[in-house]
Structure 1
Amino acid sequence: MKKFLFAIAAFLPALAFAQNAQQYTVKTRLSTIKGPAKAYLVYYIGANNIIDSADVVNGEFSFEGVVMEPLTASLFIDHNNMGLKKYIDQNFTAAGPSKSVDGLGFYLEKGNTTITGKDSITSAVITGSPTNDDDKALRALVKTVVDKAKTIAGDAQKATVDQQRSAAFQNAIQARYIALQKEQKELLKNFIAKHPGSIVSLAALSNTAGPAPSAADIEPLFNQLSAEVKNSEGGMQIKAAIDRLKITDLGSTAPDFSQNDVNGLPVQLSSLRGKYVLVDFWASWCGPCRQESPNKVKLYNKYKGKNFTVLGVSLDQNKASWLAAIKSDGLAWTQISDLKGWGNLAARLYDVYSIPQSFLIDPQGKIVAKGLRGDELDQKLEELLGKI
């Protein structure tokens, strides 16, 4: 679901247009706010976390400062005036902000930006900022996709236990997500084509990739952007990501790695050379991974006699949980892990930042597909190994 429920503009890395210091002013008016309150403006300049504060007087407050380039920022209102440390302790956890947080993510850029609302900054309206106008247009564009994704998620959650264990049901849900991904990608590609000079196009670009990003798909879109956007800090970050993706793009030789199996014995990917190998990144705590298990079991049993196998790479940290999931889901193929969670060295090597994720490798060690699940994976295996 995280691939669909985008917070397009909030909490992105700083994005650059110019090299010279530029003055910004943010003026805010909340017409019906009551009692003393404090406003906090939070943003990053490079690796430095900048926090500014202002008293809310009669619903009004403002911020002024200098930025070297347009960047994303967050604005929070402490309605109880409890102080920043207590406010953070009570409202923010590793999982993110609580529902009680009154906050707004927006683009901070040169010139005068006006924010107006009633008693909440979350529902306030931003005017006077071309970049935030573009962001508003992008949010409106993808709203239909987000709504459809919520519907699919709701249908999956309402499924019975038997349905959830059914490969056919999981394939049907996955097919709906795949169709929605394609719809979203076309919307985002059109936005980028119409807004090549907008920093917001970087946010659109980062979300065209889906769960299995490909340099071959992303780079042509990146090349459509203006020189200013491509040379911005965010643009350079995406260019670096594209270069990393080329290491595991289709046709590339799969990078080799070795990790221990469930018995503590090392297994090297290259030791499976000569077979089609599905390198499957997953974890016991990953709901979508576990939901895909019936389908993987089905396909493994279907094709294991035709020079095909699976190598599971777990992003678990708790070995007991990992082993219990393998047994519960009936995963009969080789399983390995370094038990470092998201720090798994193979996941870092393959630039895996979301799971489930998979790479299909041919007998010569070349990557021939990635990110395939459900019927799409079955169709690819049938194409390569023949119909059974």
Structure 2
Amino acid sequence: MNKIICLLFLLPSLAYAQKSVLVRGNAGKGSKGQIYFFEKQERASRPADSTRINPNGSFSKTFMVNRPSARLMALNNEQSYTIWLGNDNLEITYQPDGLPEIKGGGTENKLLNALNKAKLKYQSSMSGGVPDSIRRKAGPDYYNSLRSLAEQNAEIPSVICVLQLLNREEDKALVSGIVKGLKASHPDNPAVQEFIAEFTRLDPGQAATDFRFLTLEGQSQSFRNVLGKAKYTLVDFWGTYCIPCREGIPGIKKLYAQYKDKGLGILAVSLDRKDDMWKKSVAEENMPWAQGRTEDGGREVMEKYRFNGIPYLALFNQNGEIVALALQHEELEQRLKDLMGAPTESTATAATESEEHWARPSEEEQGLVAKITSRDLNAKYSALLKGMTLEQYTSRYMKGLEENLDLKEYQKGKIAWSLPANYKELQEIYKKKASLKEKQEAYRKVEEKQLGFLRFALKKDQYEKYLRLRVGEKI
């Protein structure tokens, strides 16, 4: 869900004569405290101004406006609503439901009255005690109302406050169409042009937004300085704690082996906060490309590139321009083929493909699994589980794996995560009053399930070694 705020960009203003604008009104009988006015900074909204509420509920604040723009206003710590500061004075009256009704300010504030009402309706529908049937409809209804407001008010500058609340991907066509019209109809409006600049900042062909990262040697480096060293640079934002990130590395190695001689460079940027685990994981993964780590856990770069999850793959060209963002592995493979031609085959490619594609169990694997699951599992688990706690079971299980397999840290975490459920299922069978035959079959199903999970968690050679050790009961 997008945050319900209107982004207010503080870029250099276009020419606009400064003037005094009075915002006055009434917060309602018995209201006390402050009216706060917020500006949207690069990272967060912060109070830019405030005015005290008089004993009779009235308030007033004069602004020196050098550019038309939106502000957020809030009664004390309550919900904030949007107003537009332009050429006209504003009269604002708080309604009993907490909604500020704006008078004056032309069509810009007429639109924001409608936006604020839609916001209040949505939040009321999501409050405690509201039936689930209403809550489920609240989100879709709210976004449909935003789309309607945007379409019906496409030429009004304050429509940018509505556009900011829409889904950037789902509503891209709608927003792009309105942006195109605004660009032509309001070339001298600073707020509109700044919104357009921000909206299009990450479009293909735009210059890459810069950020800084630390190298393995501890040096601070500019991202833009990395671009240009290769024909195309793939940036893999990852984390040592991110299982999908780690599991995607073999696929990236394959692509690197196929395209490095054609001009592909790679930079892996970790969002880890500490050096020790990051450097250990880099060594474990043996990635033959440049490495970096953000110093703030990725907050700045995630905001600048508008993503909130990893892995996140982005492709840039030699001129430092965006080629594509938020690529899936399959999309990336096709994009590289389109840009640089057919991949170069190599022994490294074959090795990574072998690591990636072992979805079909071999006859040997099937035979080993059959031997493990056909043994007297009832006798085994009856002896094992008697008086054993989850902590003891987990410790014994992990110790057996770590003594015999070279596990990476993320694999240890993944396997340990599976053990509480595995232990619970085994204990339920152990305590169940059933025949030996029924228990044997139940244990067999749990055993197969856990073997399947280990197959997912381990590399191919690790899993095959594990099965051989299990057949010999050495683990």
TM-score range (shorter-chain normalised) is 0.5 to 0.7
Structure 1 counterpart of 2:98, one-letter code:
A
Q: Any idea what SS the aligned residue of 1:21 has? A: strand
Distance (Å, rounded) in 2 between the aligned partners of 1:253 and 1:44: 27
Gaps of 5+ in 1: 78-100, 118-122, 147-179
Letter paired with 1:39:
Q
Structure 2 match to 1:280? 236
8 A Cα contact 1:116 1:125, kept in partner: yes
1:39 paired with 2:26, answer no
Q: Which has the higher helix share?
A: 2
Q: Verify: 1:111 aligned to 2:73, yes or no.
A: no
Deviations 1:261-282, CA, capped at 9 Å, x for gaps: 42458897358625x5421345
* Change over 3 Å in CA distance of 1:131–1:23 after alignment to 2: farther
Larger of the two Rg values belongs to structure: 2
Note if contact 1:277-1:361 (Cα within 8 Å) is conserved in structure 2: yes
Q: Shift of residue 302 of structure 1?
A: 4.4
Matches of 2:293 and 2:24 in 1, distance apart?
49
Note the 1:62-211 alignment, pairs <5 A: 62-66=59-63, 68=65, 69=68, 71-77=70-76, 101-107=77-83, 109=85, 110-117=89-96, 124-129=98-103, 130-136=110-116, 139=119, 191-206=149-164, 210=168
Please say if residues 209 and 218 of structure 1, whose CA atoms lie closer than 8 Å, have aligned partners that are also in contact.
Answer: no
CA 1:116/1:205 → structure 2, altered by over 3 Å: closer, same or farther? closer
Matched residues in 2 for 1:338 and 1:278: separation? Answer: 15
Matching of residues 170-319 of structure 1 within 5 Å: 191-206=149-164, 210=168, 221-225=178-182, 231-241=188-198, 245=201, 249-251=203-205, 261-263=215-217, 269=226, 273=230, 277-282=233-238, 290=242, 292-294=244-246, 296-307=248-259, 310-314=266-270, 318-319=274-275
Gaps in structure 2 of 5+ consecutive residues: 104-109, 127-138, 344-352, 354-475
Distance 2:278 2:34 in 1: 45
How do 1:11-22 and structure 2 match up within 5 A? 12-13=8-9, 20-22=19-21
Residue 26 (structure 2) aligns with: 27
Q: Partners of 1:226 and 1:105 in 2: how far apart? A: 26
Alignment RMSD: 5.5
Work out the CA distance in 2 between the residues paired with 1:332 and 1:19. 56
Letter in 1 for 2:99: V
Taking only the aligned residue pairs, the percentage that are identical comes to 14
Supply the distance in 1 between the matched residues of 2:296 and 2:35 (Cα, whole angstroms): 34
AA partner of residue 266 (structure 2): V
Please report the TM-score for the alignment, with normalisation by the length of structure 1.
Answer: 0.55
TM-score by length of 2: 0.47
Quick one: which amino acid aligns to residue 133 of structure 1? N
Q: CA, structure 1 residues 281+228, in 2 after alignment: closer, same or farther (shift >3 Å)?
A: same
Residues in 2 aligned to 1:134 and 1:323: alpha-carbon distance in whole angstroms? 53
Decide whether the 8 Å contact of 2:272 with 2:278 is kept in 1: yes
SS of the residue 1:102 aligns to: coil
Q: Distance in 2 between matches of 1:142 and 1:295?
A: 40
The answer to whether the 8 A contact 2:271-2:294 is kept is yes
3-state SS of 1:371 partner:
strand
SS in 2 for 1:50: strand
Instruction: Give the alignment partner of residue 6 of structure 1, picking from 3, 6, 9.
Output: 3
Q: Partners of 1:21 and 1:190 in 2: how far apart?
A: 33
Q: CA deviation at 1:235?
A: 2.0
Q: Distance in 1 between matches of 2:265 and 2:327?
A: 15
> Which residue of the other structure, out of 290, 296, 315, is the alignment partner of 1:360?
315
**What secondary structure is seen at the aligned counterpart in 2 of 1:202?**
helix
Secondary structure of the equivalent of 2:22?
A: strand
Query: Hey, what's the Cα distance between the residues in 1 that align with 2:320 and 2:22?
Result: 54
1:346-386 per-residue CA deviation (whole Å, 9 max, x = no partner) reads x69x9546555542246898643222236544554576666
C-alpha distance in 1 between matches for 2:90 and 2:233: 55
- Residues 223 and 311 (structure 1 numbering): CA distance in 2 closer, same or farther, change over 3 Å? same
SS at match of 2:257: coil
Superposed displacement of residue 293, structure 1: 0.9
Q: Distance in 2 between matches of 1:224 and 1:142?
A: 29
Return the alpha-carbon distance in structure 1 between the equivalents of residues 80 and 147 of structure 2.
26
Partner of 1:52: 51
2:100 partner amino acid: I
CA contact (8 A) 2:82 2:112 kept: yes
Amino acid at match of 2:83: Y
SS of alignment partner, residue 195 of structure 2: helix
Structure having greater relative contact order (Cα 8 Å, sep ≥ 6): 1
